[in-house]
């Protein structure tokens, strides 16, 4: 019996996972592909953490829904020490990746309006819709470094049609897809507006430890009462496929909300896998090794992002240098006339053409909430072997694919 489409939810395959699958299929067929589409850490999980996982395979029990207590304690201690935070283990929920926790945080609201700066990460809007919430976008622009301005947020909050419905802002920095982050002054100014309008903020800090600058601020410093922080092992520890994330929910949001999030977690994923939680405890307890690993990664990511952004700027692409993470957000506006002449009028046409002509995989801006006609795309500069690059004194050789992929984009633009 075929299910009638009127009864089926409009849920599509997530664009990030789809581009990963397409790129791998292309590579398997022996076709050239520069894998700049999917944002996966290229660095290996450190050996001692892999060993901790191997030693924990006998842990077959279900753990508590909230998460293994020693892990929650280690996470709080780690982020308090490294990022000057004020987290407590009691307020942390551990999940099978921060992505499912983002969903639980949203689904725990009976009603909410979710507001997102455009561009924002691909899964926020679909998750909000799956939870039955309305989604509003605040468009940012290249000149503002794709950052949300306090006056934009203020204007949006002041003109809401139903101000009684809780407003949830998902605020991600360093940003996927733009690589940009917020200064102390910018966060302070935004916090004032958030406080004035009682905004509940989900501060997605999955890339915070990959900030290129040694010292940086986080929003919960200025807006502790309603900043929920999410993060996890995926990015800083190179362990995306291990699926381990956490959410820290401030006490001020109340026990009822905390219990509702736990309730959704208990009805969906039950608990994060036990051996992974044990290995993650090891990762978070070893601050010293983590700091050495982070230093190496951020130095390399900074250099690579700098190289890519500079070469693309020279080719005429509008792009800002990244400040953390592994993404650049490219704006091809200057090529609009030439692209239009070739029938390329949308971001998706552009990424299809680059894949077809040069085997370069990018994700179009509209995957991140940009208008279809926006000639923007995200580049994840991670097509390199992170294991080799960590060990060699000069990483140039290990970066040949990144260099070649960037050259292909430049050549394609030149030939337009």
Residues that bind ligand GLU (CB under 6 A): 14, 16-17, 38-39, 99, 123, 176
The residue length of the chain stands at 416
Separation between Cα atoms, residue 135 and residue 169, nearest integer Å? 10
What is the closest distance, in whole angstroms, from the C-beta atom of residue 3 to ligand PMP in the complex? 29
Choices 129-137, 232-240, 277-285, 339-347 (CB under 6 A): range interacting with ligand PMP: 232-240
Restricting to residues 264-303, name those near ligand PMP by CB under 6 A.
none
Least distance from ligand PMP to the Cβ atom of residue 30, Å: 29
Closer residue to ligand GLU (CB): 176 or 180? 176
Identify which range of 95-103, 159-167, 264-272, 381-389 contacts ligand PMP by CB under 6 A. Answer: 95-103
d(CA 272, CA 235) in angstroms, rounded, equals 17
Whichever of 171 and 384 has its CB closer to ligand PMP, that residue is 171
Q: Which residue is nearest to ligand GLU (CB)?
A: 39
232 binds, among ligand PMP, ligand GLU, none (CB under 5 to 8 A by kind): ligand PMP
Among 23, 66, 91, 98, binds ligand PMP (CB under 6 A): 98
- Distance CA(56)–CA(242), nearest Å, equals 14
Q: According to the binding rule CB under 6 A, does residue 99 interact with ligand PMP?
A: yes
Tell me the per-residue interface mask from 238 to 267 with ligand PMP, x by CB under 6 A, - otherwise: --x----x----------------------
Is residue 97 at the binding interface for ligand PMP, with CB under 6 A as the rule? yes
Q: What is the DSSP letter of 198?
A: T
Using CB under 6 A, count the residues that bind ligand PMP.
Answer: 13
What φ, ψ does residue 76 adopt, rounded to 5°? Answer: -60, -45
SS3 call for 144: helix
Minimum CB–partner distance for residue 153 and ligand PMP (Å):
19
Residue 305 interacts with which of ligand PMP, ligand GLU, none, CB < 5 to 8 Å by class: none
Residue 17 contacts which entry, ligand PMP, ligand GLU, none (Cβ below 5-8 A, type-dependent) = ligand GLU
| Chosen residue from 19, 65, 108, 206 binding ligand PMP by CB under 6 A | 206
From the list ligand GLU, ligand PMP, none, pick the one residue 14 interacts with, judged by a Cβ distance below 5 to 8 Å according to partner type: ligand GLU
Q: Residues 345, 350, 356, CA angle at the centre, nearest 5°?
A: 135
Q: How far is the CB of 375 from ligand GLU (least distance, A)?
A: 20
41 binds ligand PMP (CB under 6 A): no
Give the Cα separation of 259 and 246 in Å (integer).
Answer: 15
CB atoms within 10 A of CB 353: 17
Contact partner at residue 204 from ligand GLU, ligand PMP, none, CB < 5 to 8 Å by partner kind: ligand PMP
Task: Give the Cα-Cα-Cα angle 57, 60, 64 (nearest 5 degrees).
Answer: 120
d(CA 264, CA 158) in angstroms, rounded, equals 31
d(CA 352, CA 201): 35
By the rule CB under 6 A, 117 interacts with ligand PMP: no
End-to-end CA distance of the chain: 50
Shortest spacing between CB 202 and ligand PMP, in angstroms: 10
Q: Which H or E element spans position 378?
A: strand 376-380
Strand 245-248 with 92-95, pairing: antiparallel
237 binds, among ligand PMP, ligand GLU, none (CB under 5 to 8 A by kind): none
**289 binds, options ligand PMP, ligand GLU, none, Cβ within 5 to 8 A by partner type:** none
Distance CA 124, CA 16 (A): 12
The answer to whether the beta carbons of residues 323 and 148 sit under 8 Å apart is no
CB-based burial, 77-116: b 16+ in 10 Å, e otherwise: ebbeeebebebebebbbbbbbbbbbbbbbbbbbeebbbbb
Subset of residues 346 to 405 that bind ligand PMP, contact rule: CB under 6 A: none
Sequence-separated (6 or more) residues with CB below 8 Å from residue 27:
33, 35
Tell me if 208 contacts ligand PMP by CB under 6 A: no
113-118 vs 167-172, strand pairing mode: parallel
Query: Which residues contact ligand PMP (rule: CB under 6 A)?
Result: 39, 97-99, 121, 172, 176, 204, 206, 232, 234, 240, 245
């Amino acid at each position: 019996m075929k299910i009638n489409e009127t009864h089926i939810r409009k849920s599509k395959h997530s664009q990030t996972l789809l581009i990963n699958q397409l790129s791998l299929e292309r590579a398997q067929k022996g076709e050239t592909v520069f894998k700049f589409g999917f944002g996966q850490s290229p660095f290996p999980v450190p050996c001692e953490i892999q060993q901790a996982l191997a030693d924990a395979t006998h842990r077959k029990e279900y753990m508590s829904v909230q998460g293994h207590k020693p892990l929650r304690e280690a996470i709080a201690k780690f982020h308090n020490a490294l990022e000057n935070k004020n987290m407590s283990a009691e307020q942390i929920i551990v999940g099978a990746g921060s992505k499912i926790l983002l969903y639980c945080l949203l689904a725990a609201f009976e009603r909410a309006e979710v507001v997102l700066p455009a561009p924002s990460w691909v899964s926020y809007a679909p998750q909000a819709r799956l939870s039955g919430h309305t989604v509003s976008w605040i468009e940012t622009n290249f000149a503002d470094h794709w950052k949300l301005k306090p006056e934009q947020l203020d204007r949006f909050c002041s003109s809401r049609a139903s101000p009684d419905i809780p407003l949830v802002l998902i605020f991600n920095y360093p940003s996927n897809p733009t690589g940009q982050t917020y200064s102390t002054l910018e966060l302070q100014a935004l916090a004032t507006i958030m406080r004035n309008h009682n905004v509940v903020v989900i501060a997605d800090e999955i890339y915070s430890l990959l900030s290129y600058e040694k010292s940086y601020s986080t929003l919960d410093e200025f807006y502790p009462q309603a900043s929920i922080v999410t993060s996890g092992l995926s990015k800083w520890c190179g362990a995306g496929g291990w699926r381990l994330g956490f959410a820290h929910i401030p006490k001020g949001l109340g026990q009822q909300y905390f219990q509702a999030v736990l309730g959704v977690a208990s009805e969906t994923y039950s608990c994060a896998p036990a051996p992974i939680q044990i290995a993650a405890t090891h990762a978070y307890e070893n601050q010293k090794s983590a700091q050495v690993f982070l230093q190496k990664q951020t130095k390399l990511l900074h250099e690579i992002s700098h190289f890519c952004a500079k070469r693309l700027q020279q080719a005429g692409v509008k792009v800002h240098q990244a400040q953390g993470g592994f993404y650049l957000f490219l704006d091809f506006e200057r090529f609009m006339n030439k692209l239009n002449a070739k029938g390329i009028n949308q971001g998706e046409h552009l990424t299809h053409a680059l894949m077809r002509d040069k085997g370069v995989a990018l994700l179009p801006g509209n995957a991140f909430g940009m208008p279809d006609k926006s000639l923007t795309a995200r580049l994840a500069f991670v097509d390199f072997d992170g294991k080799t690059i960590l060990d060699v004194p000069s990483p140039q050789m290990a970066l040949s694919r990144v260099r070649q992929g960037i050259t292909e984009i430049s050549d394609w633009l030149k030939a337009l």
